[in-house]
Chain A
Amino acid sequence: MCLAIPGKIVELDPGQPHLGTVEVTGVRRKVDLGLLQEEMPVIGDWVLIHVGFAMTKISEQDALEQMHLLTMLGETEQAMEEVRGYGLEQRGGP
């Protein structure tokens, strides 16, 4: 469940600290930052938005790591196949 979309914080209002404006590819909406009280986002941070509330900050680091893991998918196996191809495993030999 739960449609939640990543958006970037583009505006903060010192007069209303619990609100921030996020932008999702050109669409802007005020969101409530009350659930991020313990680590308030700053301008430029990316947050996950659900029903007008920011649920969590998005970790660029973790996203990059995940992309890296995905790019590597199958590569270990490919490397193994290459090694097997050299006939180094001595299964009856060439």
Chain B
Amino acid sequence: MAHGAGGKASRRLVEGLFAPLLFESTRAPLGDAAHVRIDGSRIAITTDSFVVKPLKFPGGSIGELAVNGTMNDLAVSGAKGQAMVVTFVLEEGLPTSVLEGEVRAMAAALHKAGVTMVGGDTKVVERGKADGMYITTTAIGCLMSQVTIDTQSVRPGDKILLSGPIGDHGITILLARGELDLAADLSSDTRCVLQLVEAMVEQAGPGVRWMRDPTRGGVATSLNELARDCGLGIALREEEIPMRDEVRGACELLGLDPLHIANEGQFLAVVAPEYADAALNALHQTEGGEDALIIGEVRAEPACAVLVTTRYGGSRIVDMLVGDPLPRIC
């Protein structure tokens, strides 16, 4: 089960099993999307599966996640998603109204994201499997010309940019499951970040080295992956990390680290220092990017690790997530 949570175990599964057997010809580090050359043109392609309980939650539902998540994976790889296909695995007995609701939600999300659904497939499985429904979406698109994502181009001094407050999605889901009896005015932050990425790339493209959407495993996992891939260190300033009060409160109450909580509408970017202001300005001037800020920078050390420092000089290493974030009482 831990293998799906997005952290160390997931990475071991991908690197240890899938990569050597399936991805032989890919020597590059595994990213959110693949860029392939077909008949001379470079095209980006990505796929993602969506499994969430409950299917519907404040701020969205599985259908929206499926569209936005895949578009976001393409966007942070520097590509604009243009066509999508979907597969549904439906549990026998799923009410038609639920399915219809999700399809409508997807249609709305597709429209907002400016991408077309061009095909798909449906399977039905026995009652008791599929938690209602699983959705997989695959999307292709063209690369944005102004940006090249390359972890090897990351340098000490580069700034770490975050598009907005963290933790909304993960905590919303946790509360929506109802097991912990907590109530708060929170919604998932699911949204397509393509427009924001495009705006940033237009103004600061040459300075953008790397991007990622910190979904399962949170900001900590994404930045740890970066640190390992580029062999450098990431230093974050604790006080700069934005989160809503409700997320902070829920994390304190349950003993969770907000840096490990999933986000579905945010992205991280590593930007060369001379382009950082332009990047931030571009985001601030785009709808939905008003809360973007710089949360830290790349350093030579501690190599391959993420360090969070406080204003008074204390610091701690934040690792990738191991398993799911668990509430604790001690």
Contact = CB atoms under 8 A, between A and B. Distances in A.
User: Is chain B in direct contact with chain A in the complex (CB below 8 A)?
Assistant: yes
Given A2-B329, A2-B330, A3-B329, A27 B181 contact: no
Interface in A12-36: 24-30
Interface of A: prevailing SS:
strand
Interface of A: 1-3, 5, 7, 24-30, 49-52
A18 to B, nearest CB: 15
A26 B245 contact: yes
A29 B329 contact: no
B59 to A, nearest CB: 15
Interface of B: 180-186, 244-246, 248-250, 252-253, 255, 328-330
Contacts of A30: 181
B220 to A, nearest CB: 20
A17 B330 CA distance: 28
A2 B329 CA distance: 6
Contact of B329 (A7, A25, A50): A50
A3 B245 CA distance: 19
Contact of A27 (B250, B255, B329): B250
A78 B223 CA distance: 44
Given A5-B252, A49-B253, A27 B246 contact: yes
Nearest to A6: B252
A45 to B, nearest CB: 18
Contacts of A51: 329
